[in-house]
Homo-oligomer: A and B are copies of this chain.
Amino acid sequence: MLIDVLDALVGAGCTPTVVSTAPIEDERVTDRATVTVDDRSLTTTVNARLAEGTPALVLMADLPLVGATDIHHLTDSDADITIAPGLGGGTNALVVRDPAFQVDYHGASYLDHRQAAAELGASVETVDSRRLATDIDEPADLAEVLIHGSGAAHDWLVEAGFELETSSGRVGVQRAE
């Protein structure tokens, strides 16, 4: 999934930095991005990066459907804070142009980030995108990758024997024996 996200970023002309809790030596990552190790919490780490400079684009690594077009939608916005919410109220992507803004990824962070922006008097734009909203948290989320994906995560699932399971209401996944 990280490789798909990096492909989208590089395809959109960005020069990404991967912030990881452990070193990454996989060349598919290191060929596309600089890797920085930081084992603090997500919120603390992102706020430390924002303190180093804005504007900044903060993108989660579990968004295997994202494409370069989606990155442009985010970076083309002139708002002080641009948010692509995830399913369940998370913040999957964020463009911060106001240097005073700080993140808090706990709970329904989309609402908290809107509130924080309002308190700063910062303008907010919400990007409406299914691809940016689809973070992969639960096994059933893998169905989205099989249905809509075309990158590394999709190919890995297919090679590992995962396929759609359509017998119940909403489509899920199963792994071939």
Q: What's the number of copies of this chain in the assembled complex?
A: 2
- Let me know if A137 is at the binding interface, CB within 8 A: yes
CA distance A137 to B144 in the complex (A): 16
Task: Pick 16 A–B contacts, CB within 8 A, sort by A.
Answer: A70-B128, A85-B147, A85-B148, A87-B87, A87-B170, A88-B140, A88-B169, A88-B170, A88-B171, A89-B147, A89-B164, A107-B166, A129-B129, A130-B130, A130-B133, A138-B170
Q: Enumerate A117-159 residues with CB–CB distance to B below 8 Å.
A: 128-133, 137-138, 140, 143-144, 147-148
Other-chain contact of A131, B89, B128, B171 (Cβ < 8 Å): B128
- Let me know if A90 is at the binding interface, CB within 8 A: yes
Give the nearest-CB partner of A108 in chain B.
B171
CA distance A13 to B143 in the complex (A): 35
- Let me know if A111 is at the binding interface, CB within 8 A: yes
Give the nearest-CB partner of A141 in chain B.
B87
Specify which of A87, A108, A140 lies most central, judged by the most chain B CB atoms within 10 Å of its CB. Answer: A87
Knowing A164-B108, A169-B137, the reply to whether A87 touches B144 (Cβ < 8 A) is: yes
Q: Are B169 and A111 in contact (CB under 8 A)?
A: no
Knowing A88-B171, A171-B88, the reply to whether A166 touches B129 (Cβ < 8 A) is: no
Q: Are B85 and A166 in contact (CB under 8 A)?
A: no
CA distance A171 to B137 in the complex (A): 12
